[in-house]
Structure 1
Amino acid sequence: MNFVPYKALIEAHVGSWEVAFVLLIVAYILYRVGKAKAGKIVHMLLRLMMVIILVSGAWMLFVGHASDFYYYLKGIIAVIAFGLMEMSLGKAKRQEGSIGFFIGCIVALVLVILLGYRVFM
């Protein structure tokens, strides 16, 4: 897959992951310091990035890599990372202990990024 729209899709996907990573950290910090309104805004932006990531990732999976199980595994871990993001931010918003979910989320995100760049193959 070397045509231009596919490359643009990859760039949108990768850029969305980068923005989501930053938004996750900002939202977590805002919730932890008691800035719930600002945290909620950043959290909603993070959810928008999650939708963009899911749509672009599914599109790339079914257009370019439908036969490669490696990318299905990446998608499953990405969905788990999204769940951990939501759990960590939800607990941080309620001022409950959330550092375990946050660290788990960071580990899952790093794993997804490494899988995306095929570091393990």
Structure 2
Amino acid sequence: MTHMHITGWVLGLILFIVAIVMQKQGKAKPAKIVHMILRLVYLFILYTGVVLVLDYFSGGYQMPYPAEAATKGAAGIWLIAAMEMILVKLGKGKPTKGVWIQFWIALIIVLVLGFFRLPMGFYF
């Protein structure tokens, strides 16, 4: 399940970047299509993330800090929300500086907890 989750995130980030590039090039209709596909990928990411968090809490892994798993889940949802807000604001021509800051903070939290602190990361 971890590999499916990571694959979903990589696909989501690639589609996010493609949608941003299309928006900035003025290709609104193709950017909207990529944005809709990205929303389907969000559902896949959320499903695999919920399954991973439930695995952590079910006792399958030595989990000394269950709050970290809950924090990663919340930060993942925050990251998806930031990605969605960036694309919507770009489409409407509104400023996105604050949302980009949120995106980077949430991304750092997700990566540090996911790869370096929680089980099934690089160090466990």
Give the TM-score range, shorter chain.
0.7 to 0.9
* Equivalence map 1:1-121=2 (5 Å): 9-62=1-54, 64-66=55-57, 68-118=66-116
Q: What value does the CA root-mean-square deviation take over the aligned residues?
A: 1.9
SS in 2 for 1:100: helix
**Which sections of structure 2, spanning at least 5 residues, go unmatched?**
58-62
AA in 1 matched with 2:53:
L
TM (normalized to structure 1)? Answer: 0.82
Structure 1 unaligned regions, length at least 5: 1-8
Secondary structure of residue in 2 paired with 1:57: helix
Deviation, 1:98, is 1.6
SS in structure 2 opposite 1:34?
Answer: coil
TM-score by length of 2: 0.80
Q: Which amino acid aligns with 1:21?
A: L
